[in-house]
Amino acid sequence: MNIDKRREKILDLLNTRPEPISGNELAKIFGVTRQVIVKDIAILRASGQDIIATAQGYLMKKPPQLCTKQIAVCHHEESTREELLTFVQCGCKVVDVIVEHPLYGELQGLLMLSNSQDVENFLKAVKEHEASLLSQLTNGVHIHTVEAINYDCIKNAEKLLKEKGFLLE
């Protein structure tokens, strides 16, 4: 398969999959190295394709069809699992985490967590990489952008987060 055809097929895959697809998975599908896929993605982005990279892989930025809201929360690091699971179990996708740093301003990290397995994989990666959560920079205060099929899912998550003492109002 030639380069142009491969890139066309990559776009087809990204446009039809609701969940991210990893560079390694794309490399296996097309019989090339991950580095070739990274280059393909860079060239597709440069040509105007709205592809985003997450910890789980690549996906197309879709036009907003879902309800979206930013929710401010505060909790200690050991409550991260409970907080993230509350969102996904209510039917919300945790798109990102945002903190306001006194020196750097707004810092954002893409999460793209849609279900409990995504949450567990994220927390496992944090542990394996001995990484710090962005919320540790701000004493637990942070914002999540969440998406859901309707605002009832978001309202339910906010209600539960408030009951758990995580919601900032």
- pLDDT bin (cut points 50, 70, 90) of residue 102 is confident
Task: Among 60, 81, 104, give the residue marking a domain's end.
Answer: 60
Asked whether residue 75 falls in the same domain as residue 35, the answer is no
Asked whether residue 124 falls in the same domain as residue 87, the answer is yes
CA distance 86 to 164: 10
Asked whether residue 21 falls in the same domain as residue 52, the answer is yes
Report yes or no on 115 lying in a domain. yes
DSSP state of 21: B
Asked whether residue 156 falls in the same domain as residue 76, the answer is yes
For residue 108, list its beta bridge partners. 98
DSSP state of 49: -
Report yes or no on 16 lying in a domain. yes
Report yes or no on 168 lying in a domain. no
What does pLDDT average to over the chain? 93
CA distance 147 to 149: 7
CATH of residue 48: 1.10.10.10
The percent of residues in the chain predicted with pLDDT above 70, rounded, is 98
Q: Which of the residue ranges 9-13, 62-66, 95-99, 138-142 would you say has the lowest mean pLDDT?
A: 62-66
Asked whether residue 73 falls in the same domain as residue 156, the answer is yes
Residue 63 has pLDDT above 60, yes or no: no
Give the DSSP per-residue string, 83-132. HHHHHHHTT-EEEEEEEEETTTEEEEEEEEE-SHHHHHHHHHHHHHTTPP
Largest CA-CA distance found in the chain, in angstroms, rounded: 56
As for how many domains the chain has, the answer is 2
Count CB-CB contacts under 10 A for residue 28: 12
Report yes or no on 105 lying in a domain. yes
Whether 32 and 25 have beta carbons less than 8 Å apart is answered as no
Domain that holds residue 138: 67-163
- pLDDT bin (cut points 50, 70, 90) of residue 64 is low
Coil, strand or helix at 36: helix
Asked whether residue 157 falls in the same domain as residue 139, the answer is yes
Asked whether residue 30 falls in the same domain as residue 82, the answer is no
Asked whether residue 116 falls in the same domain as residue 141, the answer is yes
Asked whether residue 84 falls in the same domain as residue 142, the answer is yes
